[in-house]
Amino acid sequence: MKLKLNYIKSFFANQRWLALWTIIGLTVPSVWLSLTEAWTLPGKFAGVLTIAGVYTLLMSLSRRPGRMVWYMFPLLFFAAFQMVLMYLYGDGVIAVDMYLNVLTTSVSEVSELLLNLIPALLSVVVLYLVPLIWGATEWRRPHELSERFLRGLRRAGWWLTGAGAACMAACMAFVPRYNAVNETFPLNAIYNLWLAVERTGRMEHYHESSAGFSYHARSTADPAERELYIIVVGETGRAADWQLSGYRRPTNPLLSHREGLTYFDQTFSESNTTHKSVPMILSYAESGSLDSIPRIRSVITAFREAGYATAFLSAQTPNRSYTQFFGEEADTTIYIGSASRGTAAHDGSLLPNIENIIARGATKQLIVVHTYGSHYKYNERYPRKFARFTPDQNLSAKADNRRDLVNAYDNTILYTDYILSRIIDMADGADCRSAVLYSTDHGEDIFDDSRGRFLHASPTPTAYQLHIPMLVWLSPRLRAESPDKAAQLDRHAHSFATPQKSIFMTLVDVAQITTPYYNSRWALTSGDYREPRPTYVNDHNRQLPWSEVAFKPQDKVYFRMVLHDKSLSPE
């Protein structure tokens, strides 16, 4: 035992091991990305060799590696962040959207996730926390690297950097569309951070940039006739687990028997992130004009201009995002999540508020509801009486726990079925021209195939993250007064659709509101409706056709099973 303790002490007293440990740890993400990304082979060598050389040269700048480790803390942070993402998604560089997700996610959500990522956290501890602690203990100690070892580091660093630079030069000369920044970690992560900061700045100045915007909206309906419209935006609901989509489990026992409801089984989100998807759903902005969101306002403003009393209710917490700013446009804004605790309530807690707002009896009403839906951690999103599928408690992020994860996730869909049914009951009980529109923002991976993907917002989406549920319920009076709109709605039930294009346009059409921003080709109640080209908004806000998205074979199989029109599937 004494010999082992002496060996451990001598190991940690040897500063060469600290220097090498740090260099290797920092290089691991670059090597991993070179194995997973669709970069050119010379580009992969260029990225790994250059960055390994730079790390080696940096470590050779000081005889005291313990201090150098802390000087390099930002690089260790990027590497640790990347390792966690690689564990979750298997590939992809830290994306702009991931930084923005961190900024717009509550503390409770982050802690829930991190506490269930033990393998990823262990790798972070071993590769990055150990050298930081080691470096801190060595800060004032006399242990130093020898000049001979430093010369060796410098020599190795220059050789590696030179070889990497030569590969980069060759790529720039002979490889089309090669971009050294995009294909070198952590340069790409740092560039994405800069873009995230830039977008955050635009978001913080939203009120100034959108101040002069107007929909010039006007209602053409009978001003004396009562109207009630409710938009419900869900969270992380994937269509694969909806009974209405053909799922084998009874996750929609109430909605499956609801009269007047149209379910759209080929609905796909144009984004797998909340902070992009929800603002597009709640405004006229199409994916191609995503960057216009800082200059426009939401559907709430359109209805206010048309004379409606408006309300925004959320089970989440304010997070300084466009969704919050849109909600603040309403006459009544209610958050039931606890900002002080950073937690969210069950969605059922919204129901009394919705009922009270409807009971005010305004002639024209619009209510926008943002639920917490099926966001991880799943078994905390529903009361225990909705735990129909069990066991549902072992939810740490491991493929071995998929049974419990799916059970808990399916229970969230069962609870959503109940929430939506109650909301429709309230709208129906108002006995007026009313409609309820529902869509989630994006879907979710739950270790569905050999890739072992989990959660959402990955740099490259999967079919499970994009295929989502969307439905529209029209009241008997509305169907009777507008049979043509109801007929078109039912006619398009099996058409390809996206909520980012269709929710706003469909609601404006149903409510008989005129605005120059209305586009009938995206309204599911219009005879002019045309199936949009399937697109995805990537990390840099580029609208990509599916043919340019790096879908994997598993995704293409899923698309072929779901899409009735196979020409829409990416091949």
Q: What is the pLDDT of residues 147-179, one digit of tens each?
A: 999 999 999 999 999 999 999 999 998 888 888
For 428-484, write each residue's pLDDT tens digit.
999 999 999 999 999 999 999 998 889 898 888 999 999 999 999 999 999 999 999
Q: Exposure string (b/e) for 452-471, b if CB count within 10 Å is 16 or more?
A: bbbbbbbbbbbbbbbbbbbb
Q: What pLDDT is stored for residue 114 in this prediction?
A: 56
CA dihedral 458, 463, 464, 469 (to 10 degrees): 120
User: How would residue 493 be classed by pLDDT, with cut points 50, 70 and 90?
Assistant: very high
Q: What pLDDT is stored for residue 38 in this prediction?
A: 82
Q: Which are the contacts of 334, defined by CB distance < 8 A and separation ≥ 6?
A: 311, 312, 313, 314, 353
User: How would residue 106 be classed by pLDDT, with cut points 50, 70 and 90?
Assistant: low
From 39-43, 277-281, 474-478, the region with the lowest mean pLDDT? 39-43
User: How would residue 495 be classed by pLDDT, with cut points 50, 70 and 90?
Assistant: very high
Q: Helix or strand or coil: residue 229?
A: strand
Whether residue 110 has pLDDT greater than 60: no
Q: What pLDDT is stored for residue 108 in this prediction?
A: 58
Residues 221-235: what's their mean pLDDT?
Answer: 97
Q: What pLDDT is stored for residue 234 in this prediction?
A: 97
Whole-prediction pTM: 0.88
In order of 155, 282, 368, the CA distances from 303 in angstroms are 68, 12, 11
- Going by C-alpha positions, the residue among 352, 364, 394, 365 that lies closest to residue 377 is 394
CA-to-CA distance for 361 and 386, rounded, in angstroms?
Answer: 32
- Looking at the chain, the whole-number percentage of residues with pLDDT higher than 70 is 92
Q: Distance between alpha carbon 61 and the CA centroid of its chain, in Å?
A: 40
Return the ∠ at Cα 525 (arms to 521 and 528), rounded to 5°: 30
Q: What pLDDT is stored for residue 342 in this prediction?
A: 46
Q: What pLDDT is stored for residue 184 in this prediction?
A: 93
Q: Count of CB atoms within 10 A of residue 108's CB?
A: 17
Q: What pLDDT is stored for residue 40 in this prediction?
A: 86
Q: Is 191 exposed, middle or buried (0-12, 13-18, 19+ CB in 10 A)?
A: middle
More confidently predicted of 8 and 370: 370
CA-to-CA distance for 470 and 145, rounded, in angstroms?
Answer: 63
CA-to-CA distance for 510 and 525, rounded, in angstroms?
Answer: 7
Q: What pLDDT is stored for residue 107 in this prediction?
A: 54
Query: DSSP H helical segments within 115-222, as ranges?
Result: 118-124, 130-137, 147-174, 187-204, 206-209
CA-to-CA distance for 537 and 273, rounded, in angstroms?
Answer: 10
CA-to-CA distance for 486 and 125, rounded, in angstroms?
Answer: 58
Domains located in the chain, CATH noted: 2-201 (no CATH), 220-568 (3.40.720.10)
CA-to-CA distance for 569 and 558, rounded, in angstroms?
Answer: 9
- Going by C-alpha positions, the residue among 85, 92, 238 that lies closest to residue 549 is 92
- Going by C-alpha positions, the residue among 116, 160, 140, 143 that lies closest to residue 26 is 160
What phi and psi values does residue 237 have, to the nearest 5 degrees?
A: -100, 120
For 296-314, write each residue's pLDDT tens digit.
999 999 999 999 999 999 9
User: How would residue 340 be classed by pLDDT, with cut points 50, 70 and 90?
Assistant: very low
Residues 114-119: what's their mean pLDDT?
Answer: 62
Tokens of 395: 């939810």
For 411-441, write each residue's pLDDT tens digit.
999 999 999 999 999 999 999 999 999 999 9
User: How would residue 288 be classed by pLDDT, with cut points 50, 70 and 90?
Assistant: low
Element (H, E) at 440: strand 433-440
For 380-410, write each residue's pLDDT tens digit.
999 999 999 999 999 888 889 999 999 999 9
User: How would residue 318 be classed by pLDDT, with cut points 50, 70 and 90?
Assistant: confident
Residues 366-391: what's their mean pLDDT?
Answer: 96
- Cα-trace Rg, the chain: 27
Q: What pLDDT is stored for residue 168 in this prediction?
A: 93
Q: Is 188 exposed, middle or buried (0-12, 13-18, 19+ CB in 10 A)?
A: buried
In order of 314, 487, 518, the CA distances from 502 in angstroms are 22, 16, 10
